Amino acid sequence: MRWGPTGLLVGSVVVALGCVGSEYGPADNPTEVRDVTGVPFGWSCDSSGCQITLAAGTPAPDPCTSPGDQPGYGTFWGRFFSVCSVCVTSRSDGSTYWSTSPGQCRLLACATSADCPVMFQSSPVDVYECVDGLCENADVHRRPRNPLEREDAEELCFAPHPRADTATFDAAASVAVEAELDANCMSSDPFAICSLPADCRAP
């Protein structure tokens, strides 16, 4: 399960981070992004940061099962950049957070680095570049590409599947992916070292 406090779309409500000064800005970002399954999303940036939005062809997010939660889309970034179907929970203090599962996230695809986000509102700035068709963090010191950690292997192994096939933990495709990772990773820890199964998306 993953959680995040910001970067989500719920209906027409967008929650944004405050801006951190940097040499990058909105102009360094695309206006649309696309995941590895071909699903398009809008990518809207202003001086305070960037947010995922709906585009023509974006499907409805996965439904939520907990009363009061609202479905939406959120972003998750580390070595790779993913867009996730999320459920948004509102707290009594007025704040919100979202939750999702690995099978509800898909990596961003690209043809050139101009297709990838630049998270200029974070500190340090997270610049994503196109590497073999995927948006990867350009800072290989903070986000090394070797060895492969389970969290990253998981994203690569869900990549070949349509979003609808892995929308729940107990979906057949989700169970199969996690079983394959169990056999190829040192443990279930997100940072455990893995070898990449042959049927997963190569980085």
Residue reference for tokens 């950690």: 149
Average pLDDT (125-150) is 96
Tally of CB atoms within 10 A around 80: 24
pTM: 0.86
Residue 155 CA to its chain's centroid (Å):
9
pLDDT in tens, 31-46: 999 999 999 999 999 9
To the nearest 5 percent, what fractions of the chain are helix, strand and coil?
15, 35, 50
Q: Which residue ranges make up each domain of the chain?
A: 2-143
Confidence of residue 22 (pLDDT cuts 50, 70, 90): low
Query: In sequence order, what are the residues at sequence separation of 6 or more whose Cβ sits closer than 8 angstroms to the Cβ of residue 66?
Result: 87, 89
Helix (H) / strand (E) element for 150: namely helix 150-158
- pLDDT beyond 60 at 148: yes
Average pLDDT (141-155) is 95
- pLDDT beyond 80 at 115: yes
